[in-house]
Amino acid sequence: MSGRLTWAPRAWIDGRWAKRVLLCAGRNGHWEEITTDVPPPPHAQRLCAPVLPGLVDAHSHAFQRAFAGLAERREAPADDFWSWRDRMYRVALRITPAQLRAVAAQLYAELLRGGYTQVCEFHYLQHDLDGRPYPDPLTTSWALADAAADAGIGLTMLPVLYQRAGFAQPQLRDDQRRFATDAAAVRALQRGLAGSGRPLLNAGVAIHSLRAAEPQAIDRLVDGLGDVPVHIHVAEQTAEVADCLQATGLRPIEWLCRHGAPDARWQLVHATHATPAEIEAVAHSGAGVVICPSTEANLGDGLTDIPGWLHAGVPLAIGSDSHVTRAWPEELRWLEYGQRLRLQQRNVCADPGRGESATAARLLQCALDAGGRAAGFARWGLQVGARADLLVLDAEDGALAGVPDERLLDALVFSSPGAPFRDVMIAGRWVPRDRPGATPDFAAAMRALWSEA
């Protein structure tokens, strides 16, 4: 072993706890060798707590961190996703690139503390405040990339195809003026990001939704694109399903599977309102699904059929989306709790028949396997060839102290620990721990954005 050596008493490898694990990070920042059941060599860094892989936050709108907690009052007779969206647009129309960087840097540091080491940024905030393109079309993308570099987190940028306000609205609304793109523009943005040579940065593409993009443009975007991630919001709201049915005669996921030909590059974000036939069609296509439990609950989206997706073998990643929650244990907790409420059962996502009786373990492994692919990585987690990321558990945290080793994951997910991760490694390097409060730049950006509210 010629790389940097780290030894841990336990490590989560291939869906189980392995004991006495020696991990070697190569000069390229990837795991070069992993050995179990060995004593700690004298020249290895010896950890005293179990380690986990870092997770991918597979769906993020970073600018919406500036809106978290600020849409929780109802002045009208009803409040739903669409009224929330109109209020969210006010932030989108005001935030400058400098403020975006400050907000994103705060967010990405919080995501690191919440156990994420990579974030997929579904990025549609492209133009200046008046809707005119910046001289450098990548201005807002660089703001996010700089913020990720400030925090030390990995970033998958996903510039978004966004053309129209709805199936029957061929133009964007005025409050969507900063979002306008076509297929050629998105391809150019993706090439510019992918070719930047920045460490810990890669790029795919995204389609905002079927209602926001013309079918011909979707075809132009993905034709000959290569092996990069393709993300799309789909079937998040019942109104979206009804509009798609009226416009096309098909439900959104049904239409996509018949006409969009998704494959293993594709990630269907939310997929909340999916029928059993649609779940089977997605499974047949090889595409994955990204579930965002805390945001879907906050927005009143509804509950998708998690047991159905799991039974069909569809990869399930998780995302924090609008960032009302910024830690993956809470996302996994609410992924399971939503199903418990829906079905009035417990441990819904466990599968004893397949030897997977631990709910947290099954959900964690699903999120690990699917998240790496959603971010465009062939390998992810504690395995040779994957990026050398890991999380060191704080076994003295109140929710974990005294818990038997084999039940640590159960307590991590279902006992609501406040700060379960002691240290974070990304690409073989320890990420400096920042103070948990707000940065001055973030506080200043929030004051500026909300001074007139």
The catalytic residue positions are 270, 321
**Would strands 201-203 and 205-207 be described as parallel, antiparallel, or unpaired?**
unpaired
Go through 128-145 and write b for each residue having 16 or more CB atoms within 10 A of its CB, e for each that does not.
eeebeeeeebbebbbbbb
Please name the helix (run of DSSP H) or strand (run of DSSP E) that holds residue 317, with its range, or none: strand 316-318
Q: Look up residue 43 and give its two tokens.
A: 């020249």
What stretches of 93-233 show up as alpha helix (H) in DSSP?
Answer: 97-113, 139-151, 183-194, 215-222
- Give me the DSSP letters along 391-448: EEE-TTSTTTTT--GGGHHHHHHHS--SS-EEEEEETTEEPPPPPSS--HHHHHHHHH
Report strand pairing: 390-393 vs 51-52. Answer: antiparallel
Residue with tokens 């040779």: 384
Are 366 and 315 spatial neighbours (Cβ–Cβ below 8 Å)?
yes
